[in-house]
Amino acid sequence: MNLLIVLASNPYSHDFNTAVKLAEASINRNHRTSIFFMGNGIYSVLRPEVKELYEKGAKIYYCAHNAQQRKIKPEEWAESSSMYGLSKLVTEADKVIMLD
């Protein structure tokens, strides 16, 4: 299964913990797992938990417009994207979960 999680919550929210644990469980079951960060979710891209997910095989995307608004420069391993990029990820995904 191809799971896409869209996270718009900041890192100190319950949604962030939910997203991390959900992604971990998905990866452990060998599902293709992608996380798209937007809005205040951009701050979450800086968290070590997200890098760990990337190292375990998750694909990490973020909205470049929101990152620029917040003057955040994510590391190279996170892929810069857009709302149209999200539209394509939704096409490929079997399940989409939005955490706002």
Partner 1 sequence: MAKKKIVLIIKSNPFSWKAFEALRQAVGLSMGHDLTIIFMKEGVYTLTDWKPQMIGIEPLDKSMEALGMTEATVVAEEEAIRERGIKLRQWPIEVKIRPKEEVCELVENAEVVITW
Q: From residue 3 to residue 32, what is the string marking binding to partner 1 with x (rule CB under 8 A)?
A: ---x-x------------------------
The one-letter code for the residue type at 71 is K
- CB neighbour list of residue 11: distance below 8 Å, 6 or more residues apart: 43, 44, 46, 47
Residue choice 22, 27, 72, 96 for contact with partner 1 (CB under 8 A): 96
Cβ atoms of 79 and 60 closer than 8 Å:
yes
- What is the contact surface with partner 1 in residues (CB under 8 A)? 6, 8, 38-40, 65-66, 82-88, 90-91, 93, 96, 98, 100
